[in-house]
Structure 1
Amino acid sequence: MDARRGPVRMGVLGCADIALRRMLPVLAEERCVELVAVASRDADRAAGTAARFGCDGASYDALLRRDDVDAVYIPVPPALHRHWVAEALAAGKHVLCEKPLSTSYDDTRELMGLARARGLVLAENFMFLHHSQHRTVRKLLDEDVVGTVQVFTSAFGVPPLDPAGFRYRPDLGGGALLDTGVYPLRAAQLFLGGELEVLGATLRIDERTGVDVAGTVLLSAADGSAAQLSFGFDHAYRSHYALWGSRGRVTVERAFTPPEQLEPPVRIRQQGRSTELLMAADHQVRNAVRAFAGAIRSGARGPLDQETTLRQARLVEDVRLRARRFTHGQEHA
């Protein structure tokens, strides 16, 4: 079947938590896609997940060999992204990969080159970008509500996670920078645009596991505006960004993972005046799936948003290179 004429036939490589909680329910219900198969290294887990979502179970390699799969969603740990994205592209499948697309700039550039050479859609799955509240913020900026933006601030932090999970394993691409830090970095790109320079960064390292569990970043844009970012998974929950300009400030309090039923508030503060706007509830996971399927059905060829994805990979790498590292308050190399 031509994916441009009917639903995009999807396979899922991995039964990660984000797939089970957020993506598979949407893939099983959305009309623009057809969930064909789900894969796991554990045959029983693949079969159980497949029964739950009404599709076939398979191994990774078997799923990629299927002629009835047009595209795959990849939610495996970050250090495995490069291998499985490359394998999927080599098998002729379009790819929607969880963020980050890879753990290095060079690997990201290589994967994008593979997709471009084969004419396949490759997308990095930053679902928050597909929530309509951010378009409203952009409209407020275009209407000069805050004036000239001078500072962008953002924080994404969550409480400690499962200590047995991949986020605490350096060999699997664990750490807060790749897990939560990429969100404020991507949001800074969204609103400041262009090339952003890493002026400084910190990473707090967990002595037991060796992964970073918290961090901060200071960025500068070409026009002199700055971004102050913080992130981690050793925090009380926060999912926030704000734009502070010459005339006022716009704040988004549920920036990255708002529930689909939530009407998220956007707050505007100007001299002597405060306004709160309730945004329409929106389903960013469904929107992300529709955008990916739409790109395939429209005949898009190669990586989506290539320039921004490469900038994102470069920013993450620069943060890692520039960061001062601390353990229990003590700096170390």
Structure 2
Amino acid sequence: MPKSTIDPNGPRLRFGVLGCGDIAWRNTVPAIQRCGAEVVVFASRSGDRARRFADRFGGAAVEGYERLLARTDVDAVYVALPTGLHHTWARRALESGRHVLAEKPLTATLDEAADLVRLAAQRGRWLAENFTFPYHSQHTAVQKVIADGEIGRPRVYEIVFGIPARPDGDIRNDPELGGGALLDLGVYTARAIRLMCEPADGAGLEVAGATLNIDPALGVDVAGSALLGLPGGATGHLSFGFGLAYRSAYAVWGSEGRVSLQRAFTPPASLRPVLRLERQDRVEERTLPADDQHANVVAAFVRAAVDGAPFGPQGESLLRQAALVQRIRGTAKPSFA
């Protein structure tokens, strides 16, 4: 389980940002700065959008992604583009000798992920997928409850992530840009079930069945679910979708109790999460420390890149995630909205 890793006095890395969207503005760029790294340039198809970022965060603004890669003052590239563009631009960044932190999911397909993993290994560069929630300490608290036997033997893992419907024109409704609920939200639930299977990292997970609800007008899946078999006979139930009241939660149901989190994926750094433990004779809520998962993941990326951490296990983890998502899609029976 990753631990908090913020070290303002730690090694510095010079970032270039490809894509000036909402997640970069709200979360990742401020996190880069909080953990002591530096953003030296923003690139967007729109010069005005890149300048807006530069005005707020400092650094230069360029129009066009190639202009960023042509610079000599960038050590790492944060790819904040739509999913369908991740493979192209992460590949070009790796080819240019940069470390790459890409928004989740890393790519739209397993073949694309495998290509990037091979290239990162060949070039000796660090490649990471910007899942931040595994770097929040609340999950360590859940693992301790399980390890201490407080819920008995885990038997059922229930994981959900839903958000309201996306507005017209949203990139998540565009199949050409890698849209759809599986790649936007379902990937979180897949990553969470793997996190719960540590140290096996999801090895041995089997997709027993899945559904994807397709909106014919959009051409993308807007909701879905999957049933997974875990080693030892436990099951995992994953549910995700657009057009839902916001929910970001998971629970582990064991032979003697149940433990759950209600802000599993997107807790702000100021939030003190609440772990709920239910047993036959009591219900207990434990308020946990606040944690900054966005800065933690960036700090871990910086340290791995600067220290030259072994890439083999990281590459295997990236491929395991992509393979699980692909198995869910390949197993899914479509339904139509």
Normalised by the length of structure 2, the TM-score is: 0.93
> Aligned partners of 1:30 and 1:285: how far apart in 2?
9
**1:34 and 2:43 aligned:** no
Q: For residues 73-92 of structure 1, what are the structure 2 equivalents within 5 Å?
A: 73-92=78-97
How far 1:257 moved relative to its partner?
A: 0.3
SS in 1 for 2:190: helix
Cα RMSD over matched residues? Answer: 1.5
Q: For residues 160-199 of structure 1, what are the structure 2 equivalents within 5 Å?
A: 160-192=165-197, 193-199=202-208
Q: For residues 93-132 of structure 1, what are the structure 2 equivalents within 5 Å?
A: 93-132=98-137
Give the 4+ runs in structure 1 shifted more than 3 A: 301-304
**1:45 and 2:53 aligned:** no
The aligned amino acid for 1:8 is L
- Cα 1:161–1:324 change in 2 (3 A) is same
> Aligned partners of 1:222 and 1:26: how far apart in 2?
36
**1:223 and 2:227 aligned:** no
The aligned amino acid for 1:185 is A
> Aligned partners of 2:35 and 2:230: how far apart in 1?
39
Whether contact under 8 Å (2:34, 2:295) holds in the other structure is no
Bigger drift between 43-52 and 124-133 goes to: 43-52
The aligned amino acid for 1:211 is V
**1:54 and 2:54 aligned:** no
How far 1:180 moved relative to its partner?
A: 0.5
How far 1:300 moved relative to its partner?
A: 1.8
Alignment partner of 2:160 out of 138, 155, 158: 155
Aligned residues: 324
**1:313 and 2:322 aligned:** yes
Alignment partner of 1:291 out of 296, 300, 307: 300
Q: Percent identity?
A: 47
SS in 1 for 2:101: strand
The aligned amino acid for 1:276 is E
- Cα 1:219–1:213 change in 2 (3 A) is same
> Aligned partners of 1:28 and 1:245: how far apart in 2?
41
> Aligned partners of 2:262 and 2:31: how far apart in 1?
25
Question: Which residue number in structure 1 is paired with residue 269 of structure 2?
Answer: 260
Question: Which residue number in structure 1 is paired with residue 246 of structure 2?
Answer: 237
| 1:47-97 CA distance string (max 9 Å, x none) | 222112111012311111211110011110111110011000000000000
> Aligned partners of 2:16 and 2:325: how far apart in 1?
29
SS in 1 for 2:56: helix
> Aligned partners of 1:146 and 1:190: how far apart in 2?
18
Residue segments in structure 1 that go unaligned for 5+ positions in a row: 329-333
SS in 2 for 1:21: helix
Whether contact under 8 Å (1:121, 1:303) holds in the other structure is no
SS in 1 for 2:320: helix
> Aligned partners of 1:43 and 1:8: how far apart in 2?
24
> Aligned partners of 2:58 and 2:267: how far apart in 1?
27
